Amino acid sequence: MNKLFTIIGLSLGLCVAAATQAREVTITTTLNTYRGNAAYLAIYLTNPDGKYKQTLWVAGKKSKYYKHLLDWARGSGLKTAEYEGMTGASVSGGDSLTIKADIDDALIDAGYLIRVDSAVEDKRENRIDAEVTLTTSGAGTPVSGRGYVNTLSYSL
Interface residue list for other proteins (CB under 8 A)? 35-36, 50, 64, 67, 70, 74, 77-78, 122-127, 146-147
Residue 149 C-beta: closest distance to other proteins, Å: 11
Helix (H, G, I), strand (E, B) or coil at 58: strand
Residues linked to residue 23 through DSSP beta bridges, in sequence order? 103
Decide whether 20 or 49 has the Cβ nearer to other proteins: 49
Residue 45 C-beta: closest distance to other proteins, Å: 18
**DSSP code of residue 146:** S
Decide whether 101 or 132 has the Cβ nearer to other proteins: 132
Decide whether 99 or 123 has the Cβ nearer to other proteins: 123
- Checking DSSP bridges between strand 52-59 and strand 87-88, what pairing results, if any? parallel
Residue 122 C-beta: closest distance to other proteins, Å: 6
Helix (H) or strand (E) run with residue 16 in it:
helix 2-19
Decide whether 9 or 50 has the Cβ nearer to other proteins: 50
If phi > 0 it is left, if psi is from -120 to 50 it is alpha, else beta; for residue 115 that is beta
If phi > 0 it is left, if psi is from -120 to 50 it is alpha, else beta; for residue 8 that is alpha
Residue 67 C-beta: closest distance to other proteins, Å: 7
